[in-house]
Structure 1
Amino acid sequence: MAAVRFQVATLSVAFALCTAMSNPALAQKTYDSGASDTEIKIGNIMPYSGPASAYAAIGKAEEAYFNKINAEGGINGRKIKFISYDDAYSPPKTVEQARKLVESDNVLLIFGSLGTSTNGAIRKYMNEKKVPQLFVASGASKWNDPKQYPWTMGWQPSYASEAKIYAKYIMKEKPDAKIGVLFQNDDFGKDYLKGLKDGLGDKASMIVMAEPYDTSEPAVDEHVVRLKTAGADVFISITTPKFAAQAIKKAAEINWHPIHIVSNVSTSVGGVIEPAGYEISQGILSASYVKDGSDPQWNADDGMKKFYDFIAQYDPKGNKLDAGVVFGYAAAQTMVKVLQMCGDNLTRDNVMKQAAALKDFAPDTLLPGITINTTPDDFAPIKQLQMMQFKGKAWELFGDIISSDTSH
């Protein structure tokens, strides 16, 4: 009997060895800097101070979501260590913080850092170091350039795509429009403005004035006055939250009532509309790809029920009316999905490989019908939007979901 048991044991060991050799994934766990059997280190850079500090809610929501994942056992048994630094929306500071995260903190990747000019300042560095710069919180078109920058990927719809949707709307609803544009004088604003002009095509002369402002300015009041004086009857506000709220207030103050479109990045009810004033914000237009936490129509929605439970348990200081919280939740959920797909192969190369293989992924807070899709040749995860108008105390969606592919 002992000999039989020995033979069985020997066969079992031999079988296990053969299985391990034929399936490397079972044989060993593969890690790069920032990952181990127990931990995954994720870096992040946010404007917790400075002119874009309204977006700080995104970083806080992401941290809370990772805390939730950790409380539930982590990702394949590993806890997320989320290291988030403030860059005050200043590109030189972003560079400093990225170096710290990569070279001192030894993170596996940098996720969800906010801003166009800020992320632009670290893109070359991240690609030279071959460290994923994943799900950049900016809609600049340049994040979708896998050939030249294979370690950088965006997340939200591109500003150019969004602007083309507005151009299409204006040409249909007000073909004789005189368009006044207030735009942030950086890559974010210029990318948007180019998309608007491209969308208008040979009707680009409808833009009677494009007025730039700098984030170092305390207010945009004078610029709004100039646009009114130019005779604009359509006002497109390509601004970050603080300045979007100022523009809404100033337009009301000078009794200017154009068709007012605000960029999606400044549609937060809690961060923009509430500070500007509900009464003077009625009728403002924008486009969205996420559900609005202030809209009761989502109260029975399964995804939003999960989101509200998350707020109550893990982010009690988070404002469900703040679009940044909804955004941060969905972006973090996408990051977790990619890490789950990585399994035990937590190399930077595999992180990018899995990020480029998302198919019809639908985070809880995206609008129904909008899904995340990527391929090795397409680093633009979300390409769809739906027009909306502010009514009462919430945004009201209207029309069909429009894909940027058909918005030209």
Structure 2
Amino acid sequence: MPNVSRRTIALASLATLAATLAPKDRAWAEKKYGPGVSDTEIKVGQTIAYSGPASAYGQLGQAEAAYFKMINDRGGINGRKINFITVDDGYSPPKAVEQTRRLVEQEEVALMFGMLGTPLNLATRTYLNSNKVPQLFVAAGSEQFANPEKFPWTIGFQPTLRSEGIFFGKQILAVNANPKIGVLYQYDDFGKEMLSGLSDGLGSKAAAIVASESFTPTDPTIDSQIVKLKSVGVDTVMLFAYAKQAAQAIRKIYELNWQPDTYLHSGSASMSATLIPAGLERCVGIKTARYMKDPSDPRWRDDPELKPFYEWLNEYLPTANSSDTFFLSGWTFSQMLVQVLRQCGDDLTRENIMRQAASLKDFRNPGLLPGSLINTSRTDYRVVKFMTLERFNGKNWESAGT
């Protein structure tokens, strides 16, 4: 009997201990939500240029909305639907700030996603970081969006503008030991960082930049800048511009019967937004840095990784041009956010959303070039690092062989 009593006491003690621990265990399993999240939805905010000088890029927002609709039709993410609130900022920093504040303070979105443009993202970055709102996978390449020490709530996606400029500098010297380089650049942080990176890539040959002409997004034309570059004997032209001005520059170069070696910012290498408006015959020989697959390139026509892209496009955007890189870009960017939210599980606090964005391990995004894997950490916010040089042949982009 004494043994039985001790056993009974021991079992009773274990039961008491279990009862004491159970609430804590249940607490660990509880769902954790921040603003904009419930059992049924995750609110995601975005401002993008549906109007104004960069309105061609509004197709990114349309594609992202269509991708999230597909995700929702398939049950959402861990049972929650994405409520994607995308609004027009006209590519105006003040309007972007106004719309961002409305999305955060009135709509109470969990995070901001995919805002276009360096100046707009810089304009909203301090506000979002001060309020600890994730600013994820911005559609701008400034190194300032890969600075986790000072701005831990902001992360980019594409290769940084500086790294692209460095890449161009090295590629130029690989084919021309003594170039005379002229630069057309947008007079803001975007253009200035590209120009700085180019100088760094040229190294001891930085003096090869013999002329640089700037413009603002609202300038009606850049014809005079192109004429000035030609007048100083430039043999290599860098177009650090978005679609509208890039197309204008290509047309003007052609009209001048000028044939410099021309390099185009990767973000403007779109068939529909830049090359077709410029005239495909005028674009032959132009080079760009490529980090994503191009749906207009025959190399990727039967790519098994892009089969889901064409199926999605056919079902959710049936009138879209499948060769337009903006739609593939929107499809690609959206998968980044979906991956992060999946990794969050039931912990959808803003802190954990940001933590997961900085914890991607060998993530393979099918829209990127083969061999490109995404790895991020608390000290490394550079998302895509791999790129190659490509040349336009009059019909599509092809490898430039370097």
Q: For residue 346 of structure 1, what is the amino acid of its counterpart? A: L
After superposition, the C-alpha distances for 1:227-265 in whole angstroms (9 at most, x for unaligned) are 101110000000000111111110000111000000001
Q: What's the CA shift for 1:34?
A: 0.3
The corresponding residue for 2:165 is 163
After superposition, the C-alpha distances for 1:54-88 in whole angstroms (9 at most, x for unaligned) are 11111111111000100110000000000011111
The corresponding residue for 2:385 is 383
Q: What's the CA shift for 1:23?
A: 6.8
Q: Are residues 1:49 and 2:51 paired?
A: yes
Give the match's secondary structure for 1:153: coil
Q: What's the CA shift for 1:197?
A: 0.8
The corresponding residue for 1:259 is 261
The corresponding residue for 1:297 is 299
* 1:7-26 map, 5 Å: 21-22=24-25, 24-25=27-28
TM norm structure 1: 0.92
In structure 2, distance between residues paired with 1:19 and 1:295: 58
Q: Are residues 1:213 and 2:215 paired?
A: yes
In structure 1, distance between residues paired with 2:386 and 2:175: 20
In structure 2, distance between residues paired with 1:340 and 1:361: 13
In structure 2, distance between residues paired with 1:17 and 1:262: 65
In structure 2, distance between residues paired with 1:302 and 1:15: 52
Q: What's the CA shift for 1:365?
A: 1.1
In structure 2, distance between residues paired with 1:209 and 1:135: 33
Q: For residue 188 of structure 1, what is the amino acid of its counterpart? A: F
The corresponding residue for 1:119 is 121
* 1:243-282 map, 5 Å: 243-282=245-284
Q: What's the CA shift for 1:19?
A: 7.2
Instruction: Compare 220-229 and 101-110 and name the one that shifted more.
Output: 220-229
In structure 1, distance between residues paired with 2:369 and 2:23: 43
Tell whether the 8 Å contact from 1:157 to 1:380 is kept in structure 2 after alignment.
yes
* 1:7-406 map, 5 Å: 21-22=24-25, 24-25=27-28, 27-399=29-401
After superposition, the C-alpha distances for 1:20-63 in whole angstroms (9 at most, x for unaligned) are 744755x2100001001000000001010000111111111111
Give the match's secondary structure for 1:333: helix
Give the match's secondary structure for 1:40: strand
What's the RMSD between the two structures over aligned residues?
1.7
Tell whether the 8 Å contact from 1:134 to 1:152 is kept in structure 2 after alignment.
yes
Give the match's secondary structure for 1:235: strand
Q: For residue 64 of structure 1, what is the amino acid of its counterpart? A: A
Return 5+ residue gaps in structure 2 as ranges: 1-13
In structure 2, distance between residues paired with 1:254 and 1:17: 83
In structure 2, distance between residues paired with 1:322 and 1:209: 33
When the two structures are aligned, how many residues end up with a matched partner? 388
Distance change (3 Å), C-alpha of 1:19 and 1:233: farther
After superposition, the C-alpha distances for 1:108-142 in whole angstroms (9 at most, x for unaligned) are 00001111001100111001100001111100010
The percentage of aligned residue pairs carrying the same residue is 48
Task: State which structure, 1 or 2, has the greater radius of gyration over its C-alpha atoms.
Answer: 2
In structure 2, distance between residues paired with 1:118 and 1:395: 30
In structure 1, distance between residues paired with 2:304 and 2:353: 29
Give the match's secondary structure for 2:155: strand
Give the match's secondary structure for 1:286: strand
In structure 1, distance between residues paired with 2:329 and 2:23: 41
In structure 1, distance between residues paired with 2:21 and 2:364: 39
Q: For residue 354 of structure 2, what is the amino acid of its counterpart? A: M
Distance change (3 Å), C-alpha of 1:342 and 1:181: same
Return 5+ residue gaps in structure 1 as ranges: 1-10, 401-408
In structure 2, distance between residues paired with 1:275 and 1:314: 26
In structure 1, distance between residues paired with 2:262 and 2:22: 64
